[in-house]
Amino acid sequence: MPRLNDHQRQTNKSSKTVWIVLSISILFVLSSIIFWVIYPFPSDEKVPYFEQDYTLIYKGEALSLHGMYDDQAYIPFSFIQENIDKSIQYDEDSSSVIVTTKQEVYQMPNNSSSFYVNSNPAELSFPAVKKDNGVIYLASEWLQEVYSITVNYAENTNSITIYENQQVLQKGEVNDEDAVRVRMKPTVTSPYVAELALDNSVVIEGEENGFYSIRTKEGVGGYVKKPSITLAGTETITTKTDKVKNPFQPNLEWPVNMTWDGIYQASANPSSQPSLPGVQVISPTWFELENKQGDIQNIASKSYVKNAHNKDYRVWAMFSNAFDPDLTKEVLANFESRQHVINQLLEYADVYNLDGFNFDFENVYEEDGEKLTQLMREFVPRAHQAGLVVSMDITFLSTSGQWSKFYERAKLAEITDYLVVMAYDEHWSGSSDPGSVSSLPWVRNNMNRLLEQVPHDQLILGIPMYTRLWKMETLDNSETEVTSKALTMEQAEEWMEEYNVKPTYDEETEQDYVEYSPPEQEITYKMWLENETSIEKRAQLVHRYELAGIASWTKYFANEQSWETLEESLSHRKEIKKNE
């Protein structure tokens, strides 16, 4: 028995020893883990920062895109289009990059030191455009002359950093005498990509977990512990070129009072101009696309312009696409055909001493809308150079692709001097139900939506000077046939006199209205009038929305009283009722 007890004691003692050792081991492992977490060992692994040559660095980010180098840095066209100038174009037919600014239109042919500015030849000492393996690149020296950017090329790392004008950089300096490692992530266990020495200058791009996110002058980016960097003020980037606002000004007294003059053959040009009280601008419908080559049909008259100028009218000749979507598609398709159109218009402006142009492009395929915008980008700088005002007609917003959605209204507003909204044809010749050409509530509702896209002080309100006489006739089969015809103001008055019809005020449309049924006939006539009542209300919308002015369609449709009413209403703002 005594021996058994000794053996038992020895066994128990051994078990305790094992557990003690095991506990100490576990405690050691846990302590090591905790120590490693709290006091991690810095990584000595160095990895490359750049995975490719000529990496682009923009807004603190190294991009997957890369440039190229040939005596200077070349930037990918795709980068410029995505980040600097969304309107830059590459024209396949001419193998040219097309750049438009407020003052210039550049055509930069591929692999050529020759180029064109506003169609005038110019020369560089290097090609502004290069194409390599199917990728288009632009010379950084030329880009800095055109855009508000600065391009820094770091020879040591072959990196390309792009800054924008007035970009503010937070500077910092290394204050540690020992080498400071720039790490991939904000932790000392992360591999490092570079080492900094005392007084090295960096740009601070952010901070995270006690680290600064920095960028070296060689373009290398990463993380450095904050205590190792001393803030050293800011630097504001100043570029060679600063984007300036368009210096051209139409120089017209507010509000603009414009009227279209519907002329459809050369023989219809009047020999003299009538006195139109308050009117500043006349827009004769003279120019129209003629064929797919971009030739322009011209019925303009020098004497017309001379007579108009003698009465202090300015002449903004209308240019139309003939409302032909297929013809329009062909002409807008490439740079050369657009230039053919532009060159003709500028030549006509010089020959006839015009003051501006009014573009009337309607019935355009929705997919061609961006090409129409490009036409205006390429035309307006050259028109302004020639002292010409440029306006463009648009419709209210609707779901129709070919009559509304193709207009890039916000972009067009940035390019042109004025946009003229054709605020009529609410009901038109093809309408199945009779109604007003342009009821006032319809105009206001659509105007509110349009002004979300177009600045109020660039928008001219187009108003109708005509009405429609609607005829509803019950046929033998008991169906109702609805037809209409457009009447001038005088024709509408003559019709009312003929049938001894007196107008009443229609609250729904806020216009004067007439209705007449001839005795013993299954016919009813309806007409919503354009007269002093509606003109005054439309003119007051210019004041209500602080629009640029008004444009009337057309001079021929109006009567003498309408011009006086329009001038008076534009000159005085009336109090707006709450329900209007």
**Any idea what the CATH number is for the domain that residue 204 is in?**
2.30.30.40
Answer yes or no: do 63 and 195 share one domain. Answer: no
Which contacts qualify for 96-100: CB closer than 8 Å, 24 or more apart? 96/129, 96/335, 97/128, 97/129, 97/136, 97/138, 98/335, 98/374, 98/378, 99/146, 100/377, 100/378, 100/381
Q: Span 160-185, mean pLDDT?
A: 96
Find where tokens 């729904």 sit. Answer: 508
Answer yes or no: do 207 and 277 share one domain. Answer: no
Answer yes or no: do 472 and 533 share one domain. Answer: yes
Answer yes or no: do 212 and 256 share one domain. Answer: no
Residue 171 DSSP SS3:
strand
Output the pLDDT for position 200.
Answer: 96
CA distance 78 to 84: 10
Last residue of a domain, one of 136, 162, 188: 162
Answer yes or no: do 131 and 171 share one domain. Answer: no
Answer yes or no: do 183 and 297 share one domain. Answer: no
Return the structure tokens found at 231.
């803030």
Q: Does residue 539 lie within any of the structural domains?
A: yes
Q: Does residue 574 lie within any of the structural domains?
A: yes
Answer yes or no: do 565 and 431 share one domain. Answer: yes
Residue 433 DSSP SS3:
coil
Return the structure tokens found at 285.
């419908």
Cis upstream peptide for 554 (omega within 30°): yes
Q: Span 543-570, mean pLDDT?
A: 97
Q: Higher-confidence residue: 329 or 16?
A: 329
Query: How many helices, marked H, and strands, marked E, lie in the chain?
Result: 12, 35
Answer yes or no: do 500 and 523 share one domain. Answer: yes
Output the pLDDT for position 247.
Answer: 81
Answer yes or no: do 269 and 292 share one domain. Answer: yes
β pairing state of 287-289 and 296-298: antiparallel
Answer yes or no: do 285 and 298 share one domain. Answer: yes
Among 309, 306, 331, 308, CA closest to 320: 331
Output the pLDDT for position 110.
Answer: 97
Q: Does residue 193 lie within any of the structural domains?
A: yes
Q: In this predicted model, what pLDDT tens digit does every residue of 51-79 receive, in sequence order?
A: 999 999 999 999 998 999 999 999 999 99
Answer yes or no: do 318 and 363 share one domain. Answer: yes
pLDDT at residue 36 tops 60: no
Q: Which residues pair with 281 in a beta bridge?
A: 258, 314
Least confident range of 135-139, 269-273, 509-513: 269-273
What are the Cα distances from residue 532, in Å, to 437, 561, 565, 566?
A: 15, 8, 6, 8
Last residue of a domain, one of 162, 189, 205: 162
Domain, as residue range, for 309? 247-374+387-412
Q: Does residue 39 lie within any of the structural domains?
A: no
Q: Does residue 466 lie within any of the structural domains?
A: yes
Alpha helices in 117-181 (DSSP H): 140-146
CA distance 161 to 61: 10
Answer yes or no: do 367 and 261 share one domain. Answer: yes
Output the pLDDT for position 68.
Answer: 94
CA distance 61 to 203: 13
Backbone angles phi, psi at 81, to 5 degrees: -65, -35
pLDDT at residue 522 tops 50: yes
Q: Does residue 292 lie within any of the structural domains?
A: yes
Last residue of a domain, one of 236, 267, 282: 236
* CATH label of the domain that carries residue 367: 3.20.20.80
Q: Span 470-487, mean pLDDT?
A: 93
Q: Span 39-53, mean pLDDT?
A: 89
Q: In this predicted model, what pLDDT tens digit does every residue of 73-128 receive, in sequence order?
A: 999 999 999 999 999 999 999 999 999 999 999 999 999 999 999 999 999 999 99
Q: Span 305-312, mean pLDDT?
A: 97
- For the chain, percent of residues with pLDDT exceeding 70: 92
Q: Does residue 37 lie within any of the structural domains?
A: no
Output the pLDDT for position 41.
Answer: 81
Q: In this predicted model, what pLDDT tens digit does every residue of 312-370 receive, in sequence order?
A: 999 999 999 999 999 999 999 999 999 999 999 999 999 999 999 999 999 999 999 99
* CATH label of the domain that carries residue 99: 3.30.457.10
Q: Span 406-413, mean pLDDT?
A: 98
Domain count, the chain: 4
Query: Which residues, other chains included, contact 356 with Cβ-Cβ below 8 Å and sequence gap of 6+?
Result: 250, 281, 314, 315, 316, 317, 383, 388, 389, 390, 391, 417
pTM equals 0.88
Q: Does residue 528 lie within any of the structural domains?
A: yes
Q: If pLDDT is split at 50, 70 and 90, which confidence band does 578 have?
A: very low
